[in-house]
Amino acid sequence: MAAIIKHAVISGAGSGIGQAIARALYLQGASLTLLDLHLDSHAISTIIGSKKQGDDDRVQSYELDIRHSESVWEVVSGAVAKAGSIDFAINCAGINITAPFEEVSSTDFSAVIDINLKGSCHFSAAVLPHMRAGSHLALIASMGGLLANYAYSAYSSSKFAVVGLAEVLRMEYAPKGIGVSVICPPEVPTPMVEKEMLSMHPVQRALKDTAGVVTIDELVSYVLERTWRRRRFLVIPGRRARLSYYLSRLIPKSWMHFYTDAVIRRVLKRHQRA
């Protein structure tokens, strides 16, 4: 049986997956260090309930930009001085700017890389020195980091790279007894995804449907079970998502291209008629 999480650090805790994981860990009795660009009183109350943050010494919250490595390092070091070494750390901070490649500005492309990939690097660099044998680091990637999707040039580039980063960290920190996981969920109904759906390309929608949808509660339960308790490296919530991934590993790449190209042609033809 896995040890109890005494101190957890969660980035992106102001909403979505990060907030839901923080709430679950708080209910389990963990002390929390919450990081996000914006952390208002509503976000904190969603995590800790009716208590006021000042009345609960188990919770520290800090507003910071994950793109600034020095800020992340300083905040995490200060949090450790108050709450002790880190048992569990999960980076949930991320953005998604989706559009056909020719419509993505270099500024937007860089922003996705800076937050999703470099942010994962900055977070890892800040927490790992404060972790010891038995601790666990988890990085949120995406199914878009395992299987590319239409209009995902920036997002998939960043998330494929997060998977690669996690692979290297797993190898380097396994001898120290520190576990590493990378989490690749399919579509999850979070504020970021709801915003994405407002302008989602129909081809992107059709391809995403292949991997299905998981609820936030299903994701949290599965992630904590597979990362902290079972120490698995690759964590894919959702049966349809796992099936899609493993089929992609078994089926020749040319066959996968044939399938996706057929879907793209069909959807574009239907869209042009509409």
Which residue numbers are catalytic? Answer: 155
Q: Please state the length of the chain.
A: 274
The first and second tokens of residue 188, run together, are 């999850």
Query: Closest by alpha carbon to 99, among 201, 190, 193, 194?
Result: 201
Q: What CA–CA distance (Å, rounded) separates 218 from 229?
A: 16
Burial class (CB in 10 A: 0-12, 13-18, 19+), 41: exposed
Q: Is 134 left (phi over 0), alpha (psi -120 to 50) or beta?
A: left
Q: What CA–CA distance (Å, rounded) separates 165 from 120?
A: 8
